[in-house]
Amino acid sequence: MELHISLDGHPTVVGAIYRGVLEAIRDGRIPGGRRLPPTRDLAVNLGVSRNSVASAYERLTAEGYLEARVGSGTYVRAAPPPRTTVTPRRPVHGLRPLAVWSRIPAGMPPMGSNPRFDFSVGMPDGELFPLATWRRLLSRELRVTNLDLGRYAAPSGVRPLRVAIARHAGASRAVRAVADDIIVTNGAQQALDLIGRVMVGPGDVVAVEEPGYPPARRVFESLGARVIGVGVDGEGLMVDALPARARLVYVTPSHQFPLGAVMSLARRRALLRWAQEAGATIVEDDYDSEYRYAARPLDPLQSLDPDGHTVYVGSFSKTLSPALRLGFVVAPEALRGPLQVARSLNDWHGNPITELALARFIEDGDLAAHLRRTTRVYAARRAALLDALSAWPPERLAVIPSMAGLHVAARLGAGVDAPTIAARAQAAGIAVRPISHFAANPATPDGLVLGFGVIDVERIGPGLQRLARLIDDSVGD
C-alpha cells in the first residue's frame, strides 16, 4: 500500500510518521482492517531509519489504532478508539477573521437535556407538526412539479408561495401586501440579515429593544453597526428614548420579545412619526403573533404606516417548525430589488420544493386548520400557566401582561436573583430562562421567561410549584 507521509512541520521524524499515519486513519484514507506497509518498506520510501517507523507504529499500537499480527504484519484496527483530541496544527499566519466575530457569541447556551419541566422559550411543540400532511405535500410536489430541476429558481421564492403568503398575512394579520412585495427567506433570521445588508453600513446606529432578541442584535453588530438598546415598558418600545441618529429600529410590537408587552396604538403611531421625521426604517418582527389569545389584535405597524418606512418580517418557525427555515419579508417598493439581489448573493434562493409544499398547505386551508388546532392546545397551556402563577403573591412574581405567542415573562420580587434561580431550576430539572439572558444592559430589571410551547398541560402546575419552592428558598441568598 502506498502511504504518503509528510515529514515537514514536526520536530521529530517519529512524531511526523505517527501523526501522518494517525491522520490517515482518522480521515478514513486507511480503512480498518487494512495492512500497513512493512516498516522496512516505509522507511526506504521516506528515507528514514527503520527504527523510526517501528517506534511510530508501536506508539499507535499502544494507543489502540493498530494491531501487530505475528508473522503477518501491522494492521489498522477495525474500530479505532474515539477521537478525544484534535490533531494540533500550527496557526496559519494571516488567517484572522474580523474582530467582530470574536465578540459575537455562538448561538444560545443549551437548556440542559430532557428537563422534566420544560419551560423553554421560543419553541413550538414538534409533536404538533402536521407530519402526515407535510409528507404528502412534499411527495406530491416531487411527483407533479413542473420546476425545471436543472435550473436555479427565483431569489424571492416561488410565485405560488408569495401569492399564498400575501393572502395569508393579509387575512390573518391585516398586512398590506401583494405577491410582488414578498421575499421568501430562510426564516426570520435570514430576513434580518438581508435587511441589515441592504440598510446598514459600518458605524450606522441601529436601535433594538432592551431586553430584546439577541440574534437580531447580533446580526446588526456583525455588519459593523453601533447597536443601541432602547428600554421597553408596558406599552412596548419607549419611542421617546430612541437615539436621534438611528437609521434602523428593530421591534416586536405584537409580543415584545422577551417581555411580552403589546405595543400600544399610541406608541405605534409615535414610532411611525418618529421614523418619518428621522428618515429611519422600522423592522417589524411579527414572529409569533398568529398565536393570540385576545379578541382583536392591534394593526401591525406595516399597515398603519402610510409612508412605507416599515419592513415586515414573518416566520413559520412557531406556526410550523423552526427546522423548515421558512420566513418572509414584506418589503416597501424601494427595498424590493436590493433585497432580492442580496438574497441571490447570499444563497441564490430557498428550496422550491419546500416552498411549493407550503404554498399548497396555505392555499388548501391546512395552515388555518393547523393554527386553529394548535392555538387550542397552546391556549390551554397558557391558561394553566397563568392560573398557577396567579396563586403567587405579586411581590414574589408579577406576570407581565401579554396577548400572544408561546411564552410569558414575570418580574421577580426584591432579593431574588433570576440567573441563580434559573441555574438552580435547571439543576432540579426545570428549564427556564432569566430575562437578563436576553438583555445587553446589566441594569435591565430581571425576572423569568416561561415558555409553554413544549410543556404538557399536566406538568405546568407541578413544575411551577417546584419553582416557587426554589424561589422561596433563595430569598435573601
Ligand X SMILES: Cc1ncc(COP(=O)(O)O)c(C=O)c1O
How far is Cα 157 from Cα 88, in angstroms, rounded to an integer? 44
Q: What character string, x for contact with ligand X (CB under 6 A) and - otherwise, covers 101-130?
A: ---------------------x--------
Q: Quick one: which of 37, 155, 300, 327 contacts ligand X (CB under 6 A)? A: 327
Q: Binding segment for ligand X among 187-195, 260-268, 381-389, 457-465 (CB under 6 A)?
A: 187-195
Q: What character string, x for contact with ligand X (CB under 6 A) and - otherwise, covers 268-287?
A: -----------------x-x
Q: What character string, x for contact with ligand X (CB under 6 A) and - otherwise, covers 199-238?
A: --------------x-------------------------
CA torsion angle for 410, 413, 417, 421 (degrees, to 10)? Answer: -60
Q: Which of 414, 399, 400, 415 is nearest to 464 (CA)?
A: 399
Specify the residue, 60 or 362, whose C-beta has the smaller distance to ligand X: 362
Q: In this structure, how many other beta carbons lie within 10 angstroms of the beta carbon of residue 420?
A: 14
Contacts of 5 (CB under 8 A, 6+ apart): 16, 17, 20, 21, 24, 42, 46
How far is Cα 439 from Cα 420, in angstroms, rounded to an integer? 16
Q: Binding segment for ligand X among 112-120, 297-305, 314-322, 343-351 (CB under 6 A)?
A: 314-322
Q: Where are the alpha helices (DSSP H) in 105-186?
A: 131-144, 159-173
- Asked, as a colleague might, if the bond just before 97 is cis with ω within 30 of 0, I would say no
Q: What character string, x for contact with ligand X (CB under 6 A) and - otherwise, covers 397-436?
A: ----------------------------------------
188 touches ligand X by CB under 6 A: yes
Specify the residue, 119 or 257, whose C-beta has the smaller distance to ligand X: 257
- Rg value, the chain, Cα: 28
Specify the residue, 287 or 291, whose C-beta has the smaller distance to ligand X: 287
The 3-class SS string of 243-273 reads CCCEEEEEECCCCCCCCCCCCCHHHHHHHHH
- Count of residues that interact with ligand X, criterion CB under 6 A: 13
For residues 200 and 245, is the Cβ–Cβ distance under 8 A?
A: no
263 touches ligand X by CB under 6 A: no
319 touches ligand X by CB under 6 A: no
Rounded to the nearest whole angstrom, what is the least distance from the CB of residue 407 to ligand X in the complex?
9
Specify the residue, 76 or 121, whose C-beta has the smaller distance to ligand X: 121
252 touches ligand X by CB under 6 A: yes
Q: Which of 51, 56, 26 is nearest to 40 (CA)?
A: 51
Q: Binding segment for ligand X among 138-146, 150-158, 184-192, 384-392 (CB under 6 A)?
A: 184-192
Binding positions for ligand X, rule: CB under 6 A: 122, 187-189, 213, 252, 257, 285, 287, 315, 317, 322, 327
